[in-house]
Every structure is written in structure tokens, then in C-alpha cells.
Amino acid sequence: MTSTSKIPLKDGIEGFVSDWSSDQRAFKGVPWGKAMMWIFLLSDTFIFSIFLISYMTARWSTVEPWPNTSEVFALTVNGVSVPLLLIAIMTFILITSSGTMAMAVRSGYQKKRRQASALLYLTAILGLSFVGMQAFEWSKLIEEGIRPWDNPFGARQFGSIFFMVTGFHGFHVSVGVIFLFLIARKVQRGDYDTGRRGFFTWQKGRYEIIETMGLYWHFVDLVWVFIFAFFYLW
Amino acid sequence: MSESIIPESELEEVELYHPKSWWTEKVFSQDAKLIAIQYGLTAFAIGFVALVLSWFMRIQIAFPEMAIISEGTYYQFITMHGMIMVVYLLTALFLGAFGNYMIPLMVGARDMVFPYLNMISYWTYLISVLVLFVSFFTPGGPTGAGWTLYPPQAILGGTPGQETGIILMLVSLCIFIVGFTMGGLNYVITILQARTRGMTLMRMPLTIWGIFTATVLALFAFPALFVSAVMMLFDKLLMTSFFMPALVEFGENLTYGGGSPILFQHLFWFFGHPEVYIVALPAFGIVSDLISIHARKNIFGFRMMVWAIVGIGALSFIVWAHHMYVSGMNPYFGFFFATTTLIIAVPTALKVYNWILTLWKGNIHLTIPMLFCLGFIVTFLNGGLTGLFLGNVIVDVPLSDTYFVVAHFHMVMGIAPVLVILGAIYHWYPLITGKMLHDGMGRFHFWVTFVGSYLIYFPMHYLGFIGIPRRYYEMGQTEALYTSSAADLNIFITVAALAVGFAQLVFIFNVFWSAKNGQVAEKNPWNATSLEWRTPEQPPIHGNFGKELPVVYRWAYDYSVPGAEDDFIPQDVPNEKVTLAEGYSELGVEKT
């Protein structure tokens, strides 16, 4: 694509620097939207890391005992209490949606319009069911008396942190679901083939947007893995 | 410094939005230059509010018997002055205003990469400013918790503005961060991915390096403020106990318990210290460019300057707890953070040396921008040296919470960056408006501001040494604590502060007066090399560069090149097209 590749790079750190700082683009062949999403996700990583660090600090600073998570998060099926059942299903669904998302990216690049939009819709529906189950989990915990300011099972910080962090993550999932539906609709309508302009931004979109969306979706999934480990298994 | 290999363009043409109505052209504009001006005017408007607050505080400190404001109001004014100046004025001005205006022009782009997002960024910022401003008119007034908003006192009874002020402050900060993130992503990606042909990162002017690194810092530091603001909002509104230990207030047990106030301090300063460099790094970059242009000499040690900016940026993330030496954290932390803090002095000192060496034997033009640059170097050096006192745990402990601290940070991150902002406005005003600022008013403005700020802040060091605590509404009758010399000094400082304030009014008048009546600026009035002056029109129009984007052949610092007839070679001029001076066969080679 460019003649830059023909210029021999120096060895060692000097070559590394001149490669990075070279002409026009630091990341060759990376669309703007994708690069932006990476930087945004780095920034978002800081947000979630700080949430999790605050969670650890709260767990350590509180004087009351932390509730036993395998009891609090248990679901009673046929009179048998199964720990972490709901969460296992939720995690499974979210990780499955990451798979369908990856398949959507692939079909998008192959310009298989129908397949891509179907997979995007499927991803969105899986995401939606995740949010639905989270709502169910929240209402169950609230019924049992757990509140952001109170917790009958032990330290009150448990309720505060749990609702705040899963709420913030659920907000991310919800935003993702909205955008998944929007992009699925655009793909279905063929906007990226006809060059139809966005209603707000007035820009033409391209199939690369599916990959950018995918980055966000996988990130949300990855964050969930950490939340799962720190909240439910610890 | 020039290589002939210029790769073909690998950038897609940006499709610019063409406004169809007055509203989309002049108000909801997607043009980065107009967004920059909107950012700048909003920041100056709210900054002016903060300036006026400081006048009230100064009058109160100097003449406590007048009781011009009440105790509660004093704390509210201190809080709002600090927060507005640091976040809503300086951050917004450097990144929102200078970033938006300079990045596309200096890297040779037509606009930011996401113009729509850029527009939304400004309007979100405006909302955050309005939310903050509204708190002046709510019951209880704005928050008086100090700009650091330390819990538990920030949300408890007895602190002024704990009814609604603190809520609006936290909400406003969250909105600001959301808006900034949208803008910041734009700045970073425009610099990384949308430079013109030939513009390598190592040919970018240092202004852009400063803004770039500061934006990256902001994108990684603001999350800490965002999270702590959300958590404190929950503590206030939902009665959670993230930052609130068990407390007794007026003999009654509060419902809080088990939280950690120190956690807030850690989070706040994890944002707060990079914030210092978010303000300082663009100033470093801009001042490097201005010095080089107005001394007609290339910047000394360009690569070192770049690495120093990046190094300072990286180090700024591991020094935050030097703000917390007296907050009761583990003393071993203090040892670690004192070490990292003092290490930052190395790249910073390197930059100061390089500025001096750029001036050394330069052809110094004492234009107003240059005066402000010289003022900056001296002020920054002063502020930096007092930083060595405060960075050492053992020296910091007695100086904590005295006027010495006030003097230090006002010198280093108040006056110094503001001098750069003012210099930069005098420098780029011809580009932005096509007119020159009035020279006489400008010189008056500089001398009063520069000398005046020294008259304000130098005595404060002394006040700090004799132990006058900061944030006190009045010093009271205790002669032991408050000697008569301190009282006299406070009057002196107030008079100086009001004079400096008056000079800023002259400046504001100058900005508006010159836009209409100023002398029409010639093209590239300072004979600068960088691309913002190479647009077909001055001021540049939508799309910046006309039909074709410029191609860059050299770095931005080709001043006084031996062999060239002019004492500057613009970045988009190839070696073959440089007019040679008499007696030279090519650049740098004399005829034999």
C-alpha cells in the first residue's frame, strides 16, 4: 500500500521508535473507529479496575464479616439450593454471545449481509437475556433485603459495591445491546453497501464497524469474567 | 532533517459535514476550529467567575474586620475557585480549545477524525459548566468542601453546600469527564492516525506532543475521579458507606460505617496528580514552540524534549501519594512516593535547561509571546524548586497546609500555565481572527501580570514558613500565630492581586477590541514554520488546507538554517525549493 515499507528500519530501539512514529499513521491499516475503540477501552479498563480495587479496599476496611457468596447467590431449584446456578447460566450466555459476535464480524467482512445481521440480532438478543437475568438476580437480592445501604447477611458494603459494579457493567451491556440492534438494522438494510449516511453523524459507515462493535462487546464480556471471579467466587 | 522519500497518501479523504443552516454552521458546528473557540470562550467565562471569587477571598483575608463574605461563603469560594480553575478552565482551555484548534492544523488534517463526536463533546462540557454554575443559586449554595472534596466532611452537616452543592459538583464532574472523553479520543486518534504525508511523529511540533501526552494522561486519570465521584454520590444519596467510617455527629450515631476515607484520597490524587501534568504538558509544548519561533532558533534537543514529555507523563501516575504525607497512610509509602516525586525533577529540569539553551545565542525578539515565555520559565523554575521542599516527607510535614503550599501550586500550575496560555493567545490571535492584538495594552498586561503575580506569591512563601495555615477565613487575635507582619503582608498581597485582576480586564477588553479594530495581520506574522500558518486563507476556513493537503518535508524547527535566504523554512517546503542565500551552493554548503 505504501512505499514506507521499503525504507529499511534500524535495529533495536531506534528502529522501533521510527516504525511507531512513521508517516501518517501509527497503526498501519487500522481504521479510525477501531483505533478509537481501543483507546476508549483502555480508558474504560481504568474505570473498571478502579471499581474492583475499591471493592477490594472496601472488603478489607469494613469491620463486619463479608457474606458467604455461595449462599447469597444460590438459587433454590425443587427445594435444593444450588450455588451460583443463575450466574453460571448468565456467564455461559454472555460468552456465547461473544462467539456469535465474532462470527458476525467474519460474515461482515465476507459481505454476507443476511448472515451478519442475523448473527448481530442473535448477539443482541443474548445480551438482552443477560440483562434480563441480571434484573431477575437484582430483584431476588432486593427481596431478600439487600440494599445499597443495608445488608442483612453481613457487611453493608457488599450490597453497595455489588449493585454499583454489576449495575455499571449491566449499563455497558445495555448500551452494547442498543448499538447491536442499530448496527444489525443497518446491516440488514444494506447501509454499508449503499453508502447511506448516518442520521446523526452524516458519515457513511463500513463493515469494519461490526469489528469495532465486536471489540466493545468482547471487552464487556472480559470485564464480566473479572466481576464473576471477584464477586461470586471470592 | 529532510528526507526525500514521501510515501503516497494512505489516508482516506475526510468527508466534511457541510452545514446547511445558520444553526449548524455557527452554533452546532462540527468544525474543530469553531468548537475550539466555543470551548475557549466558555472556559474563559467560567474562569472569570473563579477570578472574581478570588478577589472576594483576598479582600476578606486582608481586611477581616470588613467581613465582606461569611465564613461559609469563604469556603464555598475557595472550593469553586480551585475546581473551576483546575478542571473547567485550564483543562478545558488547553485540551478543548488549543487541542481542537491546533491539532488538525498542525498535523495537517482537515478536521478531527470524528467531527460529530467533537461537537457533542463541547455541548456536554457546556452542560457540566452550567450544572456547576447553577449550584451558586441552590439552597445552601455551592459546596464548601475544598477543591479536594475529601470525605467524610464533604457530605456531612456543617460543611457549607452539603445540601445540594456537593451533589451538583459531583454530577458536573461526571458530565465533564464524559464530555472530555469524547473530545480526548478525537485528539488522540487524530494525532496517531490522521497526520498528513511526511508528518512523522518526530516531525510534529512540541505543542502537539504536549497536548497528545496530556490527553492520554487525562483519558487514564479521569476514570479515577469519575469512579470516586460516583461512589461519593452514592454515599450522599443512597447512604452507602464507601468512604464513610462509623461517625458520631452532634452526639448522634450516623448510619454510616466501615468505609475508608483514605481510599477517596488515593483515588482523588490518582487523578489529581496527573491532572497537574495535564495542565503542565501542553504548556511545556506550547512554550517550546513559542521560544523557538521568537528566538529564531531550533529547539535545543528536540528528541530529548519529546522523551521528557512522555517520561513525565508516565512518572506522573506513580507519584500521587505525595499529596497525602499527613493523611495517615503507611509511612513507607511516603518513602516510595518521595523518591518517585524527586525523579520527576530530572526530565523537568532537562526541559528547563533545553529552553535556556534554545535562548542561548538566539536572535531573541522581545515580542509579547516571548515575554510571556520568559515569564513562564522563571515562574516554573520557582514553582519547581519549592516542589523539592514539598516532595520530601520530612520537610513537607511542617509545611503542609500552610501558605507555602498555596504559593507553590499557584506558581507551578496556576501562574506558569496561565502565562503560557496568554502568550499563546498573543501568538495565535492573528491566525484565529486575522487581526493583531494591541501591542501597548499587551505589554501593560504582561508586566502587570508577571510582576504582580510575584508580588502575590513570593510573600506567601514567607507566610507559609512562619506557619500561617491556608484555608482560614480569618487569622483571629492570636499574636503568636498571626504576627503583625503577616497582617500587613496580606494587605499587600491583596492589593497586588486586585492589580493583576485589573490587568486581566484590560486583556479581555483587548481581545474583543482588537477583533474589530485591531491592525490586520499579515500572513504568517511571526515567520513560523509549522503548518497552521500555511493555510490558503488566514484565518483558515472549514477544511483547513484547500484542495490538497500539504506534504511535510522537515521538522518544525528549521529557523536560521545556514544557506537559506529567509531565517525560516516552512515544514511543507522541500529542500529543492528553498531560496538559497548568496554565496551558498546548497543548504549548509558554502560555494568554494
- Is B312 within the bounds of a domain? no
pLDDT at B5: 58
Angstrom CA distances, B373 to A118, A211, B185, B249, B415, stand at 60, 46, 29, 51, 12
Q: Which residues of B touch A32 (CB under 8 A)?
A: 113-114, 189, 193-194
Q: For Cα atoms A190, A193, A198, give the angle at the middle one, nearest 5 degrees.
A: 70
Q: Dihedral (C-alpha) A138, A97, A234, A44: value to the nearest 10 degrees?
A: -90
**Separation between Cα atoms, residue B523 and residue A32, nearest integer Å:** 33
- Is B147 within the bounds of a domain? yes
B504, B526, B548 - which closes a domain: B526
Q: CB-CB: which of B192, B227, B260 is closest to A51?
A: B227
Query: What stretches in chain A show pLDDT beneath 70?
Result: 1-8
**SS3 of B62, please?**
helix
- Contact yes or no for B8 and A61 at CB 8 A: no
**Separation between Cα atoms, residue B411 and residue B114, nearest integer Å:** 36
- Is B245 within the bounds of a domain? no
- Is B455 within the bounds of a domain? yes
- Contact yes or no for B15 and A23 at CB 8 A: no
CA of B494, closest CA in chain A: separation in Å? 42
Q: Which residues of A touch B228 (CB under 8 A)?
A: 50
Q: Of A157, A197, A200, which Cα lies nearest the Cα of A60? A: A157
Q: What Rg, from alpha-carbon coordinates, does chain A have?
A: 22
pLDDT at B478: 61
**SS3 of B158, please?**
coil
Burial class (CB in 10 A: 0-12, 13-18, 19+), B569: buried
- Is B478 within the bounds of a domain? yes
B103 and B195: one domain? yes
CA of A15, closest CA in chain B: separation in Å? 13
CB A166 within 8 A of CB A87: no
- Is B374 within the bounds of a domain? yes
pLDDT at B251: 87
DSSP letters spanning B407-457: HHHIIIIIIHHHHHHHHHHHHHHHHHHSBPPPHHHHHHHHHHHHHHHHHHH
pLDDT at B214: 97
pLDDT at A1: 38
CB B255 within 8 A of CB B239: yes
- As for how many domains chain B has, the answer is 3
Per-domain residue ranges of chain A: 1-30, 34-233
pLDDT at B13: 64
CB B558 within 8 A of CB B569: yes
Q: For Cα atoms A196, A202, A208, give the angle at the middle one, nearest 5 degrees.
A: 60
Burial class (CB in 10 A: 0-12, 13-18, 19+), B296: middle
Q: CB-CB: which of B10, B194, B223 is closest to A47?
A: B223
By 3-state DSSP, what share of chain B in percent is helix, strand and coil, each rounded to 5? Answer: 65, 5, 35
Q: What's the per-residue H, E or C state across A141-176?
A: HHHCCCECCECCCCCHHHHHHHHHHHHHHHHHHHHH
Supply φ then ψ for residue B395, to 5 degrees.
Answer: -85, -30
Query: What stretches in chain B show pLDDT beneath 50?
Result: 1-4
Produce one character per residue of A13-23: b if its CB has 16 or more CB atoms within 10 Å, e if not: eeeebeeebbb
- Is B12 within the bounds of a domain? no
B100 and B81: one domain? yes
**Separation between Cα atoms, residue B525 and residue B533, nearest integer Å:** 9
CB B224 within 8 A of CB B270: yes
**SS3 of B468, please?**
coil
- Contact yes or no for B223 and A61 at CB 8 A: no
pLDDT at B266: 95
Produce one character per residue of B337-353: b if its CB has 16 or more CB atoms within 10 Å, e if not: bbebbeebeebbebbbe
Q: What ipTM was estimated for this complex?
A: 0.93
Q: Of B271, B219, B273, B270, which Cα lies nearest the Cα of B95? A: B219
pLDDT at A220: 96
Q: Which residues of A touch B11 (CB under 8 A)?
A: 24-25
B41 and B69: one domain? yes
Q: Which residues of B touch A23 (CB under 8 A)?
A: 6-7, 195, 197-200
Question: What is the extent of the structural domain holding B92?
Answer: 25-199
Cis amide bond preceding B152, omega within 30: yes
B372 and B517: one domain? yes
Query: Mutual orientation of helices A32-61 and A208-227 as an angle, nearest 10°?
Result: 10
- Contact yes or no for A46 and B224 at CB 8 A: yes
Set of cell numbers at residue B76 = 464555598
**Which chain B residue lies closest to A3 (C-alpha atoms)?**
B7
Supply φ then ψ for residue B510, to 5 degrees.
Answer: -60, -45
pLDDT at B590: 84
**Separation between Cα atoms, residue A83 and residue B589, nearest integer Å:** 82
DSSP letters spanning chain A: --SGGGSPPPSHHHHHHHHHT-SS-SSTT--HHHHHHHHHHHHHHHHHHHHHHHHHHHHHH-SSPPP-HHHHT-EEETTEEETTHHHHHHHHHHHHHHHHHHHHHHHHHTT-HHHHHHHHHHHHHHHHHHHHHHHHHHHHHHHTT-BTTB-TTS-HHHHHHHHHHHHHHHHHHHHHHHHHHHHHHHHHHTHHHHTPBPTTT-PBP-THHHHHHHHHHHHHHHHHHHHIIIIII-
B569 and B468: one domain? no
B146, B164, B199 - which closes a domain: B199
Set of cell numbers at residue B174 = 461526571
Query: pTM of the prediction?
Result: 0.94
**Separation between Cα atoms, residue A191 and residue A179, nearest integer Å:** 15
The CB density around residue B516, as the number of other CB atoms within 10 Å, is 8
Structure confidence by residue, pLDDT tens digits, A127-141 = 999 999 999 999 999
pLDDT at B7: 65
**Separation between Cα atoms, residue B504 and residue B271, nearest integer Å:** 30
- Is B457 within the bounds of a domain? yes
B479, B504, B526 - which closes a domain: B526
CA end-to-end distance (rounded Å), chain B: 23
Q: CB-CB: which of A1, A24, A47 is closest to B226?
A: A47
**Separation between Cα atoms, residue B114 and residue B344, nearest integer Å:** 35
Q: Of B402, B350, B413, which Cα lies nearest the Cα of B380? A: B413
Phi/psi region, residue A29 (left: phi>0; alpha: psi -120 to 50; beta: rest), is left
B517 and B591: one domain? no
Q: Which residues of A touch B270 (CB under 8 A)?
A: 50
The CB density around residue A202, as the number of other CB atoms within 10 Å, is 15
Q: Of B411, B417, B385, which Cα lies nearest the Cα of B285? A: B417
- Contact yes or no for A27 and B199 at CB 8 A: no
Q: CB-CB: which of B117, B219, B270 is closest to A39?
A: B219
CATH class of A34-233: mainly alpha
Q: What's the per-residue H, E or C state across B192-235?
A: HHCCCCCCCHHHCCHHHHHHHHHHHHHHHHHHHHHHHHHHHHHH
Set of cell numbers at residue B149 = 472534596
CB B363 within 8 A of CB B297: yes
DSSP letters spanning B2-37: --S--PPP-PPPP------SHIIIIIS---HHHHHH
Q: What's the per-residue H, E or C state across B234-255?
A: HHHHCCCCCCCCCCEECCEECC
The sign of the torsion formed by the CA atoms of B93, B98, B100, B103 equals negative
Q: Of B133, B339, B157, which Cα lies nearest the Cα of B252? A: B157
